[in-house]
Structure 1
Amino acid sequence: MRVAKHGAREKLIDATRTLLWDRGYAATSPRAILDHAGAGQGSMYHHFTGKEALAAAALQVTAEDLVARGEAALVGDGPNVARLSAYLLRQR
């Protein structure tokens, strides 16, 4: 699982992940992302070319997070069926 950092880029990505989950892409404005992240207006365009690039970065982080969680659930001791069950029943 990804450890959150406290830089502006990471705050923007984390805010975007939250807002995309809650509102969806179309209903998430750049202003809402900036407000949720507590970032200044120039921060988004310093780190990303726009909302689409920021959303892509947020989706990439989410995918990496899901893969890491899945691998962690499937690796380890115990019967294969128990590990697979734990993976399928994990909180998403």
Structure 2
Amino acid sequence: MTKAPYKREYKQSSGRGKDYTIRCDGCGRNVPRFKTFVSYSGLRLDPELVRLVGRKNVHVYMQKKYYCPKCARNLGIVQPGKLGKRRRSEL
């Protein structure tokens, strides 16, 4: 079995018990929450524009999306680690 091209740093301890699952927003697969990668999508405004209009008058909607490791690699949220770069340079 080959290693994953990213470093797995799951911060789950055995004392926490079973973690709940989340449905991936890319492929719809059920993944434990600690394995997902979070990405924010929404509208970003220029800070000067927000300052001119006023912070109370502007409402910016940010959506939190959870992706499984496979979708996160394909979408470019997670970059391949050293192992993936080494394989590409050998070819």
Query: By the TM > 0.5 criterion, same fold?
Result: no
Larger radius of gyration: 2
- TM-score, with length taken from structure 2: 0.20
Normalised by the length of structure 1, the TM-score is 0.20
Q: Which has the higher contact order (CA 8 A, sep 6+)?
A: 2
